[in-house]
Every structure is written in C-alpha cells, then in structure tokens.
Structure 1
Amino acid sequence: MLNIAGLEGLDRNAPVVMLNLMRFHAHSRDGNGSGWDAYLRYSAITVPMIRARGGTLLWTGEAKAVALGPHAGNEWDFVALVFYPSVAAFLDMMTSEAYEREADPHRVNACAEHVIIATNEAYSKLKIA
C-alpha cells in the first residue's frame, strides 16, 4: 500500500530516487505466465509513465545474495533504481487512474512482495538533472 502520509512529509519538489526491491510469484496470479512475465508487462506500461513525468530508470538488476545483514526477509529477486524529478511526480504517477487501472494489476500479479524506499541523495557520481 502506498505510504502517502510518509511521502507527504518529504519535500514534494525535491528529486528522489526510488529503490525498488521485488520478490516475484513463481506464477503470475492471473495465470498468464510467471511472475517475471507479469513484471515485464508492468514495466512496459510504467516506463513510459515514468518518462512522461521526467523520470528515468537508473539501474535494474537481479538480486543475487545478501552480502551483509540478516538473510531472513531479504530474499529479493530484482532491484531497480528509478529517478523522479520530484516526489510530486512519483505521487502523480502512482495515484493516477491510468496507473491504477493499467499498470498496478500487473504489479500485483507479479510480486509476492514489492518494497519501494524513497531516497535522498547524499553522494553520486551520476549527474541526472
């Protein structure tokens, strides 16, 4: 569930990178392929939505192993870093009727668990804006 109250406590105009941690269902909940297949359908819809709001995918990749910290509860399949020019842009996308109608059902079918953490840049070699 989207933590709107927590996000509204952030500077709505500040850029944000969302750290996405995902664990997929073995089989899509709608019976249409695997969880990964459903995630690909989700991505095909959301990437244009992200770009339309000035955002971009910075990095995606397969989660391989917990290198430090507790293993229990940290069995992720996939990680994505997504830049948004503002918290408001992220909220606009996530609360849009198009996202809720067209994209979110695929995310729900794909993910057994999906955590998104809003991050504030302290240091980066990347120049985004």
Structure 2
Amino acid sequence: MPLAVNMLNIEGLERLDPNAPVVMLNLMRFHARSRDGNGSGWDAYLRYSAITVPMIRARGGTLLWTGEAKAVALGPHQGNQWDFVALVTYPTVAAFLDMMTSEAYETQADPHRRNACAEHVIIATSEAYSKFKTK
C-alpha cells in the first residue's frame, strides 16, 4: 500500500459524511535538510505545494490560509513545536480522499512531502463558526 494511503485514517474519514465540506488543518514540522539532499525541508515543502495546490483546485478545494507557527500560547509545549500551519477547504470529504489516494499524489507530490516533513498531521474539521465564507 502506498505510504500516504497507509498513513490516512480511512476508517475515521469514512465515519464523516463523504458529501460534507471539510476544512483540513495541517500542522507541519520540517526537516532542517530535505531528505533527498535538495535544499532545506522548507524547499521540499515548496516543491510539494507547487504540485498539490493545482490538485486541490482541480477537486474544487481552496488553500484558505497558511502561516508560520511561532509559539505554543496555551497547552503543553512538549510535542507541539510546529513550523507551519495551513488551512485547506475541500467541497467534500470524498474530494480530499480522491486527491490523497490518487496515483498522481502518490508519485508526484508525496515524495516531496516526505522529504520536507519530519512530522505532518492533518485534522479534519467541520465548521462551527467562520467570518469567512468558504462555499
């Protein structure tokens, strides 16, 4: 089974409404050096983003917001030293799964993600409140 698919919580995602919109909270910690030796972890992440953003858009999704994680403001510091945060909306959970399980993601994008990230957590969220209209 491909690595990205193997890491997906398919069971958890299948408990969600496949036709409901979803915002994915991405938490990333980068390697100092890309695992392939081609620049920094950040450089590898930029290569990953250049490939995945068109994949997200092709499925009706949008990159809503990205930013540097600066400091833990509340909660345990241990294990929460993230470098970067991204919010990505997808029109449906099924659209997210379609991208993550696609051959193009596995062969073109995921190698850059693995080279970039020492750790990458994606949390599926549903909207409770937003001052931004996502769809």
Shift of 1:128: 1.6
Distance 2:9 2:129 in 1: 25
Query: What does residue 48 of structure 1 align with?
Result: 54
| SS of aligned partner of 1:114 | strand
Tell me which stretches of 4 or more aligned residues in structure 1 moved more than 3 Å: none
Q: Percent identity?
A: 88
TM-score normalised according to structure 1 size = 0.99
Gaps of 5+ in 2: 1-6
Within the candidate set 101, 119, 128, 1:113 is matched to 119
Cα deviation, 1:36-84, whole Å, max 9, x if unaligned, reads 0000000000000000000001100000000000000000000000000
Shift of 1:3: 0.8
Aligned residue pairs, count: 129
Cα deviation, 1:75-117, whole Å, max 9, x if unaligned, reads 0000000000000000000000000000000000000000000
Query: What does residue 4 of structure 1 align with?
Result: 10
Matches within 5 A, 1:46-85: 46-85=52-91
Gaps of 5+ in 1: none
